[in-house]
Chains A and B, each alone.
Chain A
Amino acid sequence: MMKKTKLLAVLLMLCLMTGLGAQGQVDSGVQKEVELRWASIWVGNDSKAPAVEALVNEYNAKNAGKIKVVIEPQPDYNAYEQKVRTSLAAGQAPADIFTIKFNPTTATFYQSNLLMDFSKVMSNSWKQTFDAGSLEQSTVDGMLKSLPMETAILPIWYNMDAFAQAGVKALPTTMNEMWAAFDKLKAAGITPASQMTGDTNAWTSMIWFSHFAVSLGGTNVWDKPFTDPAFVEAAKLTKRMITEYSTSDAVGLGAGGSGGHFLAGRTAVFSNGPWYAGRADLAATPFFNSIKIAGLPAAGSTKDFMISRLQANICAASTKDKAKEAAILDFMQYLTSPASIARIAETSGAMFAIKTDYRPVKALQKQFYDVASAAKTTAFDLEAALGAEVTLEFAQQLGALALGRISAEEFCALVDRKIER
């Protein structure tokens, strides 16, 4: 009995001490030094994490005794977004600085007065360091409550070794050439494309669908009802890709499996963003040096565009404390400076909405920059344009479409029902 009581006492003491210790960290900002908490998604395994951490450490060293930035790691994005939503609903900002994926779902956060409106506090010279289009996309009803940081293009990846093996020497430039090349790949025993309907966004196939839809309906296609003929035709093309030119496990397959097929050389064509280029397992493949990054042949009248998205924006809590506001702005300017951004880009291969002279040395990463600058115009992908809920419905119904349970028209009508107007 005595032993049990002692154990209980030790556990409670331990719990209280640890609790108070952690609490003490939050309260340390009470001193003269301004402490800024940054809820960052660029942590853990993220390729940007080491550079971001180094930048924050350098900033803290430079501003010792005045400003201290503390990174609060947010490893699971979906749960983190729920946290942001909950804290805003409870009338509090989740942190002094926080990163979000910008899309119609997170754009609703702009309605909160808890977020700093950068349009009121940004100097012109600071504003000019940003890509104007990205700034415009991040502006809602005249408010700029998040700064565009990471951007991405979502092109198509071609394994040219596989194409050569099938007797195809150049990238297809028309849809007919593409089908012909895919037929040759099939005849050579290579599955043409990685497709998938699993996960919450059917990622790989969603990118293909976005390419088709924008080419067929124009760069403003996402403003149209989902029952528009452009979407119906894009759905038919995506179905054909999945049923005729992809692996047999495409229905229900997740992004890991879809990428795995490409990495294993089982498929010749893939789609993903620039972050995939820095993977060690990709660099270890025998065809690494023969990967070509490009768009899809135009399925419609819109050509020479690239699918892109705002990958991560950065927000700040509005505050009446002038010292804190000044500290936030100082750190944000430091973080978004071309020099800082170039360092993050260099180690991660990611692309940013801040203009820099940085160009990647690695060939594959360089192709992304070349493709982005060669594109005459850009258009959002489905998820970036219509939000997480619509994309979830898209993913769920894409499986049914591929299995022939619903027609392309029915598929589009089902997705259309999820769009809030």
Chain B
Amino acid sequence: MKQRITGVGLVFNSVKWLLLLSLLAVALLPLFWLLVSSLRTNLELQTNPFGWPEKLQWENYAKALSMASLPRLLLNSVVVASCAVILNSAVTAMGAFILARERFKGRDVLYTLLTAGVLVPVISFMVPYFSFITKTGLYNTLFALILVYTAVNIPVSTFLVTAFMKSIPRELEEASVIDGCGFLKRFTVIILPLSRSGLVTAATFCFIYSWNEFLMAMLLTSSIESRTIQLGIKFFSSQFITDYSSMYAAVIITIIPSIIAYIFLHDKIIGGLTAGGVKG
């Protein structure tokens, strides 16, 4: 049966859609502008920032790919971000399991100490990280970035995953003990699978950080072989002159993997965030 729409309902619906469309425009317009600008010349951009391209400049993309060695940097970013996520998830899952499910003296102090790292600005770690990485001979390697990104994300991941693991009913674990599960099996068979949403949320934050990070990558690497995509974007900006259109083309290329990852994982990301929000 069709529901009758009253006048008030119509106004309400119109306002609702207008508001939603406005928010959509606010979110998408900068991306659209970036896409259009990546197909214009620098002169067009400087003389009229909000115009349309006279002729589509696909060569900006070719320049972006060739000049800054973007394919290599893209591969490096994928390796660094993926490895950092895996390493961070592994470390955090084990740490959070102990902090959330085991009872021992000083547990709360340890948890507070670990998660307090969220409040410390990363820039304050620059000198110690630089010293550590150079003294261990890891300077200018991808492994240096993997280690640092893993470490930097431990506080926030621990905070998220511990809160998630705490919310799992203790009865499940007790039942598994009765069924003969030891310490390792309790973690791998019971708690870890149930914490998947929390881990995906933490992994998402770690991936985004590792993908976007610039300063540490600049500090700890010196050659194309070990640099990441964010440094490639800066390659179009020299001391005096910036090639904006090629830079925007490079930005578009770099955000494509994030968008693809989000398309495939968005249900898990949103699920993890909302579940964490309710249970945490």
CB distance from A72 to the nearest CB of B (A): 4
A86-144 contacts to B (CB < 8 Å): 86-87, 89-92, 95, 101
Main secondary structure of the interface of B (DSSP, over half): helix
B142 and A18 within 8 A (CB)? yes
Given the interface contacts A8-B86, A86-B130, A273-B240, does A260 sit within 8 Å of B235 by beta carbon? no
- Give the total number of A-B pairs whose CB atoms are below 8 A apart: 149
Q: Which residues on B sit within 8 Å (CB–CB) of A260?
A: 45-47, 49
Q: Which residues on A sit within 8 Å (CB–CB) of B46?
A: 256-257, 259-260, 263-264, 281
Cα of A259 to Cα of B79 in the assembled complex, Å: 40
**In the complex, B268 has a CB within 8 A of chain A:** no
Cα of A281 to Cα of B76 in the assembled complex, Å: 34
CB distance from A148 to the nearest CB of B (A): 15
A75 and B43 within 8 A (CB)? no
A86 and B143 within 8 A (CB)? no
**In the complex, A170 has a CB within 8 A of chain B:** no
**In the complex, A179 has a CB within 8 A of chain B:** no
**In the complex, B244 has a CB within 8 A of chain A:** yes
Q: Which residues on B sit within 8 Å (CB–CB) of A281?
A: 41-43, 46
CB distance from B50 to the nearest CB of A (A): 12
**In the complex, A358 has a CB within 8 A of chain B:** no
**In the complex, A37 has a CB within 8 A of chain B:** yes
Contact of B126 (CB < 8 Å), options: A41, A77, A86, A266: A86
Contact of B222 (CB < 8 Å), options: A20, A37, A49, A101: A37
**In the complex, B141 has a CB within 8 A of chain A:** yes
CB distance from A349 to the nearest CB of B (A): 11
CB distance from A101 to the nearest CB of B (A): 8
Cα of A143 to Cα of B126 in the assembled complex, Å: 28
A45 and B236 within 8 A (CB)? yes
**In the complex, B215 has a CB within 8 A of chain A:** yes
Contact of A89 (CB < 8 Å), options: B45, B127, B141, B236: B127
B83 and A11 within 8 A (CB)? yes
Binary B-proximity of A154-195 (CB < 8 A = 1, otherwise 0): 000000000000000000000000000000000000000000
**In the complex, A25 has a CB within 8 A of chain B:** yes
Binary A-proximity of B64-106 (CB < 8 A = 1, otherwise 0): 0001100000001001101100100000000000000000000
Given the interface contacts A45-B236, A47-B241, A284-B43, does A25 sit within 8 Å of B218 by beta carbon? no
B143 and A46 within 8 A (CB)? no
CB distance from A105 to the nearest CB of B (A): 15
Q: Which residues on A sit within 8 Å (CB–CB) of B76?
A: 18
Q: Which residues on B sit within 8 Å (CB–CB) of A273?
A: 240
Cα of A11 to Cα of B75 in the assembled complex, Å: 11
Given the interface contacts A21-B225, A275-B240, does A76 sit within 8 Å of B218 by beta carbon? yes
A18 and B225 within 8 A (CB)? yes
Given the interface contacts A256-B46, A263-B43, does A75 sit within 8 Å of B127 by beta carbon? no
Q: Which residues on A sit within 8 Å (CB–CB) of B225?
A: 18, 21-22, 25
Given the interface contacts A11-B79, A44-B67, A46-B239, does A26 sit within 8 Å of B140 by beta carbon? yes
From A8, which residue of chain B is reached at the shortest CB distance? B86
**In the complex, A64 has a CB within 8 A of chain B:** no
Contact of A87 (CB < 8 Å), options: B49, B67, B130, B223: B130
Binary A-proximity of B216-249 (CB < 8 A = 1, otherwise 0): 0011011111100001001111111111100000
A4-23 contacts to B (CB < 8 Å): 8, 11-12, 14-16, 18-23
**In the complex, B214 has a CB within 8 A of chain A:** yes
B222 and A95 within 8 A (CB)? yes
Given the interface contacts A90-B131, A281-B46, does A276 sit within 8 Å of B240 by beta carbon? yes
B218 and A80 within 8 A (CB)? yes
Most chain B C-beta atoms within 10 Å of own C-beta, residue among A16, A39, A73, A80: A73
Q: Which residues on A sit within 8 Å (CB–CB) of B238?
A: 41, 43-47, 49, 75
**In the complex, A224 has a CB within 8 A of chain B:** no
Given the interface contacts A45-B235, A276-B240, does A86 sit within 8 Å of B140 by beta carbon? no
Binary B-proximity of A264-291 (CB < 8 A = 1, otherwise 0): 1010000001011001010010000000
Given the interface contacts A86-B130, A264-B46, does A20 sit within 8 Å of B241 by beta carbon? no
Cα of A49 to Cα of B237 in the assembled complex, Å: 13
From B69, which residue of chain A is reached at the shortest CB distance? A73
**In the complex, B146 has a CB within 8 A of chain A:** yes
Given the interface contacts A44-B236, A79-B214, does A279 sit within 8 Å of B141 by beta carbon? no
A15 and B83 within 8 A (CB)? yes
Contact of B234 (CB < 8 Å), options: A76, A90, A101: A76
B47 and A263 within 8 A (CB)? yes
Given the interface contacts A11-B83, A18-B79, does A279 sit within 8 Å of B241 by beta carbon? yes
From B145, which residue of chain A is reached at the shortest CB distance? A19
**In the complex, A62 has a CB within 8 A of chain B:** no
Cα of A23 to Cα of B42 in the assembled complex, Å: 38
Q: Which residues on A sit within 8 Å (CB–CB) of B231?
A: 75-76
**In the complex, B13 has a CB within 8 A of chain A:** no
A79 and B41 within 8 A (CB)? no
CB distance from B268 to the nearest CB of A (A): 15
**In the complex, A312 has a CB within 8 A of chain B:** yes
Binary A-proximity of B15-50 (CB < 8 A = 1, otherwise 0): 000000000000000000000000001110111110
Cα of A264 to Cα of B46 in the assembled complex, Å: 8
Q: Which residues on B sit within 8 Å (CB–CB) of A19?
A: 138, 141-144, 226
Known: A47-B241, A72-B222, A86-B130. 10 other contacts (CB 8 A): A11-B86, A22-B221, A44-B237, A75-B235, A79-B218, A257-B46, A257-B49, A273-B240, A275-B241, A281-B43
- B-side residues, CB < 8 A to A, are 41-43, 45-49, 67-68, 76, 79-80, 82-83, 86, 126-127, 130-131, 134, 137-144, 146, 214-215, 218-219, 221-226, 231, 234-244
- A-side residues, CB < 8 A to B, are 8, 11-12, 14-16, 18-23, 25-26, 37, 39, 41, 43-47, 49, 70, 72-77, 79-80, 82-83, 86-87, 89-92, 95, 101, 256-257, 259-260, 263-264, 266, 273, 275-276, 279, 281, 284, 311-312
- Ordered by A's residue number, 24 sampled pairs between the chains whose C-beta atoms are within 8 Å are A11-B82, A15-B83, A18-B76, A18-B225, A19-B138, A19-B143, A22-B226, A23-B138, A39-B222, A47-B238, A49-B238, A82-B219, A92-B134, A101-B239, A256-B46, A256-B244, A263-B43, A263-B46, A264-B48, A266-B47, A276-B240, A276-B241, A281-B43, A311-B239
